[in-house]
């Protein structure tokens, strides 16, 4: 990912709430803002009491700043209570496992779609300044329920800017690819299998490609988008692609690979910006910004900040990306994950 030309938002003195705040991204985001600024209050909103307990132990020196709210984004009343006095919200809570969502569609919709609506209502009711929601590459041209639910969530967040009226709450979305080393991702899975003495590694398809971003990069990108947002944008970082087979070979040189086939709802390649979205997209050196298409949105700043229209029929996909992780770059990435 190219060096960002946009500095992170200064959260000193601000009150911040993170839904899914005890998860991989959420806890890393909390740690980062505690180390780089002095927020007056940080609310970790999550339904996982054990992860709350772990965070309390890890962040004991920040006990006066941190608040832990057990709650679910499905519960709008609990969200409204948690958001009282909050300036900024980062919405990271979601059901993310593709096969699980396919088998449990009602639960996926309740969390990812109704949950997004609840976040919007609670933020507007409490006069929150800015809300930024995390999305996924699977929301672009979705073929699985998880992607479709996140596309619906994205649409809710973009349209919410027209609902906040004089309250003035601004909403935006960050959409990126696989987070290296996050819970449920392939690197921890492969490492666990190797530690248990696996004689081969399973891959779904040798042609498969994915976008990759580190937790550090993801957090830094969200912080810069919080500063840059006008409301209604979908921010997409310029990040590298990697072939899953190259990752497996880097983690276990010489170990056989077994092709197991693509899982239900899984794509061969991922897309972050479709050809249709590209018509509303401007490009920067380190990111793309998909601008909202509804007529009430004023395109004031992004062109003036150096945003360039994308070419006709532009498509940002993992198999046609111009930046790749290969060879030594994969080894450095794996070393970085080990140090987290």
Distance CA 33, CA 278 (A): 32
Token readout for 298 is 């004023």
Residue ranges with strand state E in 151-208: 170-174, 178-179, 201-203
Token readout for 29 is 């985001």
* Rounded (5°) CA angle 313-319-323: 95
Angle, helix 244-251 to helix 186-195, in steps of 10 degrees: 30
Residue 251 · residue 334 · CB < 8 Å: yes
Question: Hey, is 133 helix, strand or coil?
Answer: strand
Distance CA 268, CA 262 (A): 8
Alpha carbon distances (Å) from 196 to 26, 193, 256, 335: 29, 5, 16, 20
Distance CA 1, CA 286 (A): 7
Q: How many CB atoms lie within 10 A of CB 276?
A: 12
Residues belonging to the active site: 138
Of the CA atoms within 13 Å of residue 8, those in its CB half-sphere come to 16
Q: How many CB atoms lie within 10 A of CB 328?
A: 9
């Amino acid at each position: 990912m190219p060096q960002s030309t946009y500095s992170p938002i200064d959260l000193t003195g601000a009150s911040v709430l993170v839904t899914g705040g005890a998860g991989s991204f959420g806890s890393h985001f909390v740690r980062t803002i505690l180390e780089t600024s002095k927020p007056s209050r940080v609310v970790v909103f999550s339904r996982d009491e054990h992860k709350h307990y772990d965070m309390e132990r890890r962040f004991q020196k920040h006990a006066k700043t941190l608040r832990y709210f057990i709650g679910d984004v499905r519960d709008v009343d609990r969200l409204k209570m948690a958001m009282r006095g909050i300036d900024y919200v980062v919405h990271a809570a979601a059901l993310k496992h593709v096969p699980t969502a396919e088998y449990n569609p009602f639960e996926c919709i309740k969390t990812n779609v109704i949950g997004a609506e609840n976040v919007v209502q609670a933020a507007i009711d409490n006069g929150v300044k800015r809300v930024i929601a995390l999305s996924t590459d699977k929301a672009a041209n979705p073929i699985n329920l998880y992607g479709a639910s996140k596309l619906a969530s994205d649409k809710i967040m973009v349209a919410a800017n027209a609902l906040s009226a004089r309250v003035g709450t601004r909403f935006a979305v960050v959409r990126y690819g696989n987070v290296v080393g996050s819970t449920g991702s392939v690197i921890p899975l492969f490492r666990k299998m190797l530690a248990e003495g696996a004689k081969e590694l399973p891959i779904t398809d040798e042609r498969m490609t994915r976008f990759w971003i580190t937790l550090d990069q993801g957090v830094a990108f969200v912080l810069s988008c919080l500063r840059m947002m006008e409301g209604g944008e979908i921010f997409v970082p310029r990040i590298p692609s990697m072939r899953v087979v190259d990752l497996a070979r880097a983690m276990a040189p010489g170990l056989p690979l077994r092709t197991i086939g693509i899982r239900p709802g899984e794509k061969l390649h991922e897309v972050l910006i479709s050809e249709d979205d590209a018509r509303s997209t401007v490009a920067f050196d380190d990111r793309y910004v998909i601008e909202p298409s509804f007529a009430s949105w004023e395109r004031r700043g992004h062109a003036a900040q150096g945003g360039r229209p994308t070419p006709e029929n532009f498509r940002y996909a993992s198999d046609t990306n111009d930046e790749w992780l290969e060879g030594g770059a994969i080894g450095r990435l794996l070393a970085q994950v080990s140090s987290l």
